[in-house]
Structure 1
């Protein structure tokens, strides 16, 4: 299995060490650097060259938002997972717009951190149930994107319903039950939409739907 290189930035040393220790059993995840603030992280990032950064939201010198913006410009191949103690809806849309790959609470257990790291490595994003709820609830795309009438995307009501339920994290079987159609039909609709929109998975479908305001 491919080794995933991870950096962690947090101004609390005990927290950093605790995360690293809790992930020790996952041999394919290697911590290649630590930093106690955003400035130190950015100074060391080129040499360490991690795949993913676990980054505290609120740090001295440079915070997680500044780090995310900077890395999106200078090292776009490095993905940032934000760590925070606060389940704050106000930050979600802004952080995703800045280029964050996901948002984790600091009381998250090691299994979920591992899942987040693996998802980000595989798809570029980790959409937890909390982030999904916030993005759908606030209709993030309508706040951050302007519709382009020259390239308007038109979908059927059935396709719209499937996308909406995918965004709400229902499985194909659950969607089929809600819509009174077969799970195979749901998968066919998803596959058709992913091919049409040029995305590779459900995460890409969710982000495309939000960007192009395909859900209410």
Structure 2
């Protein structure tokens, strides 16, 4: 079998780097393209042949959902694996319907990620328990799944504390000093808030806090 050429689309370079190191240890795989959003990915695909894409859903600019639609339209041979924090059935169903060939959570172990890559490349699809459960639920309920990043959100006391300080216009360094955390830890909590709430940036966090009476 020839080398499987892989693209990674995720707006966090540290996540891309971790995936790339792990995948490149498999001699049958090669990461040939990295992108921080859908637009960068499409630009790269115009220059580089790719077999499989590991696609994050939430990215600035063109997100993974829209990028999946565009790739399905222009590059039918490319297999897309959604890799995301969102495990809601609506996201799974919608991504599979618009063109994804597999759906993994970001905490999937390296063995499953490689297994999914091999499966979509050789057989077209990879069905894990997450996908099977969502598909079964759709069949039983005959539901019309419409995904949204705005879902029921439970924030920890620490996350609420950081959110309130963000709304006070404090920097990561100032927040860290006030609650005895490193700026890097504060940034990690901030990103977790962005992912949980389903917004794109600090302004979105503030808007969420205002709408929900948190400040």
Whether contact under 8 Å (2:6, 2:29) holds in the other structure is yes
Within 2, Cα distance between the matches of 1:4 and 1:140?
36
Show the 5 A alignment for 1:74-85.
74-85=74-85
Q: CA–CA distance in 2 between the matches of 1:44 and 1:122? A: 23
What are the equivalent positions in structure 2 for 1:64-79 lying under 5 Å apart? 64-79=64-79
Written as runs of structure 1 = structure 2, the 5 A alignment for 1:110-149 is 110-139=110-139, 142-143=142-143
Aligned residue pairs: how many? 144
Corresponding residue for 2:89? 89
CA contact (8 A) 1:93 1:140 kept: no
1:3 aligns with 2:13: no
Give, in angstroms, the shift of residue 143 of structure 1. Answer: 4.7
Map Cα deviations across residues 25-83 of structure 1 (whole Å, 9 max, x no partner). 21101111100111100111121120011010100111111011001111111111111
Distance in 2 between residues matched to 1:91 and 1:36, nearest whole Å:
20
Runs of 4+ deviating beyond 6 Å: none
Q: Corresponding residue for 1:48?
A: 48
Unaligned runs of 5+ in 2: 145-215
CA–CA distance in 2 between the matches of 1:68 and 1:140?
26
- Structure 2 CA distance, aligned partners of 1:125 and 1:63? 22
Gaps of 5+ in 1: 145-216
* Cα pair 2:23 2:31 within 8 Å, conserved: no
TM-score, normalization by structure 2 = 0.64
Provide the residue aligned with 1:105 in structure 2: 105
Q: In 1, Cα distance between the equivalents of 2:27 and 2:39? A: 29
TM-score of the aligned structures, taking structure 1 as reference length? 0.64
